[in-house]
Amino acid sequence: MNKTLSEKILSRKVGKDVSAGEIIVTDVDYMFAHDASGPLTIDQLRTMGIQKPAYPDKTIIIIDHAVPSPNKTISNNQEKLRKWAIKTGSRFSEAGRGICHQVLAEDYASPGQIILGTDSHTVTAGALAAFGTGMGATDVAVAIGLGKTWLRVPETIMIKLDGDLPTGVYSKDAMLTFIGKLTMEGATYKALEFSGSAINNMRMDERLTLSNMAVEAGAKVGLISSDETTKKYLESRGRGEFFQKIMPDKKAEYTETLKFDASEIEPTIAFPDTVDNIKTVSEAAGTEIQEVFIGSCTNGRIEDLRIAADILKGKKVNPNTKLIVTPASRETLLLAVQDLTLQTLIESGATVTPPGCGVCFGALGGVPADGDRILTTSNRNFKGRTGNPLSGTYLASPATAAVTAIKGEIADPREML
Amino acid sequence: MNMEGKTWPFISTAWKFGDSISTDHISPGRYFHLRTNLPELTKHTLEDAREEYASNVKSGDFVVAGRNFGMGSSREHAAIMIKMSGAGAVVAKSFARIFYRNAINVGLPAIICNTDKIADKDQLSIDLELGKLKNETKGFELTFSPIPKEMMKILSEGGLVPYIKKYGDLKL
Ligand code: SF4
């Protein structure tokens, strides 16, 4: 046996040994569409003459991108999705419940599954050893209609992170460092697999950040073996029975193995307009920032909010900067209310918006002005990403975001910890 | 294959773009509300890369780019918009995975080939079956690797929707 994690999951799924390069047709465990691509998905189903999902209980419609809806066109589109979900008996995640990838992690994803979504960050589920991958509306429509999809079994690049991340350095910094090395196309058509002692020691929220950004290097999937942490996470979600241990074989073949020493990773920032345009925070310190956003499917979980709140406690957001905080899910929001994280953030001057994609993709609130620099904890910074092509988007960890909000310029979180 | 009456291969104009054209350049997120109004949305095709493209592109023109075309989001609108803008094909040094798949699914040929020597406004003819691209302006020919056969089946039906309508199943 010499299978990578991808080959293992896909072989189990199709019931025979498959290896990189093969094209397979496989069943899908969950397929979802959100309010940005959902209307097109159901239109494509209609055009194909398919009336209902092959498996309504595996089909999920999620309203997360525009929450709450800012205008009647979007409201009508969301209503169309809601009606379709009810009519077909599909699962439905209402506006305010959370960002699709966070909802999938909390309620659905488990090891060995195949998950398709009309969203590139469906790779997030890889942190739970689920083969999650993003596809376009038509591919997902076919999966909804037939319950299956076609895939090319990917080659795999192994990323090995050993050692301990220093204080003030997080999985986001590690991932930005990896992408800087891989470049934004370095893993195109391939899978990423993360391993090493630092990954083994990571909490699930930290792992979700890594897998989430696999697509920023072009990868099809970003997988992590399932272990005790996965098991505990599933148990905490009342889904313990879905745990199974999946890991690659010792002799699995990788096209490349990149090794990193966690102790050498520094707080890292991606500069506009590409995710691989990285600098260390020390190189970037002093760059003025007009807006800071803490949220998104990359870093909008409760642990991220707590990291930011610990730094912002008793301090004020700089008068030249705005801070917007958007919890990734309703549950995140509720936990942040219960443990007073939210109070700390609000007292510091943060504006808190409802669970959803928020500022991340530039269609809702928080659009930066011409010439502004916005620093966000999300995952991509292409020109115009946050709504204004005349502004620049910078990516960093929640800790870097919090100190930057206080200073009004890019600053090193290690100074305040 | 037919492009509004034109039969491959035909001669058309190249619109040259650089490396790393993202789906945000092609289909800016700020036009989210237009995603259910494709003709309106198409007026903004590639707006954040070259604002003049959408209003000046002619039916059959080629979008020619550098590396990693279509990186970023999975929004299929990006591929649909380029197709609806009238482009006959996208030619790039490399494509992001999801965009490539979306392009074929919506019936937009995506050709991987070295585009270094193609300049804006060059006249090109492309033969999909033979895998040849001819630069009529500069007088040279390039060969490109054919679209994988599984995807060619989808493309030759005009995309995944007509494919499924015809076969009722995925049989690649
Ligand atoms: S938070 Fe941003 S990256 Fe994540 S799903 Fe929403 S728009 Fe996409």
Q: Do residue A348 and residue A325 come from a single domain?
A: yes
Ligand 1 touching residue A361 (CB < 6 A): yes
Q: Is residue B6 part of a domain?
A: no
Q: Do residue A276 and residue A168 come from a single domain?
A: no
Residue among A29, A228, A36 nearest A148 (CA): A29
CB contact B127 to A (< 8 Å): no
Pairs of CB atoms within 8 A across A/B? 146
Q: Do residue A133 and residue A236 come from a single domain?
A: yes
Q: What's the rounded Cα separation, in Å, for the pair A407 and A371?
A: 19
Question: Cα–Cα distances in Å, from A62 out to A47, A78, A119?
Answer: 22, 9, 11
Question: Cα–Cα distances in Å, from A317 out to A289, A321, A348, B40?
Answer: 12, 7, 6, 40
Q: Do residue A43 and residue A167 come from a single domain?
A: yes
Strand partners, A123: none
With both helix axes pointing from N to C terminus, report the angle between A398-407 and A302-312 in degrees, rounded to the nearest 10: 30
Q: Which of A60, A67, A97, A101 to mutate to test the pocket of ligand 1 (most atoms within 8 A of CB)?
A: A101
Please report the DSSP string for A268-282 in residue order.
EEEPTT-TT-EEEHH
Q: What's the rounded Cα separation, in Å, for the pair A95 and A78?
A: 9
Strand partners, B112: B92
Strand B11-16 to strand A191-195: parallel, antiparallel, or no bridges (unpaired)? unpaired
- pLDDT one digit per residue (tens) for chain A, 417 residues: 799 999 999 999 999 999 999 999 999 999 999 999 999 999 999 999 998 999 999 999 999 999 999 999 999 999 999 999 999 999 999 999 999 999 999 999 999 999 999 999 999 999 999 999 999 999 999 999 999 999 999 999 999 999 999 999 999 999 999 999 999 999 999 999 999 999 999 999 999 999 999 999 999 999 999 999 999 999 999 999 999 999 999 999 999 999 999 999 999 999 999 999 999 999 999 999 999 999 999 999 999 999 999 999 999 999 999 999 999 999 999 999 999 999 999 999 999 999 999 999 988 889 999 999 999 999 999 988 999 999 999 999 999 999 999 999 999 999 888
Domain of A351, in residue numbers: 268-415
Q: Report the alpha-carbon angle B71-B32-A150, nearest 5.
A: 45
Q: Is residue B21 part of a domain?
A: yes
Question: How many CB atoms are closer than 10 A to CB B139?
Answer: 7
Q: What values do phi and psi take at A76, rounded to 5?
A: -65, -40
Q: What's the rounded Cα separation, in Å, for the pair A366 and B118?
A: 40
Q: What's the rounded Cα separation, in Å, for the pair A393 and A293?
A: 10
pLDDT digits (tens, 9 = 90+) for A96-112: 999 999 999 999 999 99
Q: Are A157 and B43 in contact (CB under 8 A)?
A: no
Question: Cα–Cα distances in Å, from A46 out to A19, B106, B165?
Answer: 35, 15, 11
pLDDT value, residue B6: 57
Q: Is residue B152 part of a domain?
A: no
CATH number for the domain that contains residue A339: 3.30.499.10
Q: Among partner residues B34, B35, B105, which is closest to A136 by beta-carbon distance?
A: B105
Q: What values do phi and psi take at A152, rounded to 5?
A: -100, 125
pLDDT value, residue A327: 98
Question: How many CB atoms are closer than 10 A to CB A403?
Answer: 28
Q: Do residue A90 and residue A231 come from a single domain?
A: yes
Q: What values do phi and psi take at A267, rounded to 5?
A: -55, 130
Interface test with B, best of A22, A120, A121, A123 (most B CBs within 10 A): A120
pLDDT value, residue B1: 46
Q: Do residue A100 and residue A244 come from a single domain?
A: yes
- pLDDT one digit per residue (tens) for chain B, 172 residues: 444 455 566 789 999 999 999 999 999 988 988 988 999 999 999 999 999 999 999 999 999 999 999 998 899 999 999 999 999 999 999 999 999 999 999 999 999 999 999 999 999 999 888 899 999 999 999 999 888 888 999 999 999 999 999 999 998 7
Kindly report the length of chain B. 172
Q: Do residue A283 and residue A255 come from a single domain?
A: no
Q: Do residue A154 and residue A33 come from a single domain?
A: yes
A362 to B102: CB separation less than 8 angstroms, yes or no: no
Q: Among partner residues B29, B68, B105, which is closest to A185 by beta-carbon distance?
A: B68
Interface test with A, best of B164, B165, B167, B169 (most A CBs within 10 A): B164
Residue among A304, A326, A330 nearest A205 (CA): A304
> ipTM > 0.95?
no
CATH number for the domain that contains residue B110: 3.20.19.10
SS3 of B25, please?
helix
Dihedral angle sign, alpha carbons of residues A275, A276, A281, A286 = negative
The total number of structural domains in chain A stands at 2
Ligand 1 touching residue A296 (CB < 6 A): yes
Q: Is residue B5 part of a domain?
A: no
Question: A228 C-alpha to center of ligand 1: Å?
Answer: 28
Q: Do residue A222 and residue A346 come from a single domain?
A: no
pTM given for the model: 0.94
Strand A221-224 to strand A30-34: parallel, antiparallel, or no bridges (unpaired)? unpaired
Kindly give, in sequence order, each residue whose CB lies less than 8 Å from that of residue B161, ignoring residues fewer than 6 positions away.
A44, A47, A48, A138, B105
Q: Which of A104, A175, A379 to mutate to test the pocket of ligand 1 (most atoms within 8 A of CB)?
A: A379
B97 to A218: CB separation less than 8 angstroms, yes or no: yes
B97 to A188: CB separation less than 8 angstroms, yes or no: yes
pLDDT value, residue B32: 87
A398, amino acid identity:
P
pLDDT value, residue B2: 43
Q: Do residue A249 and residue A273 come from a single domain?
A: no
Question: How many CB atoms are closer than 10 A to CB A282?
Answer: 11
Q: Report the alpha-carbon angle A155-A161-A164, nearest 5.
A: 165
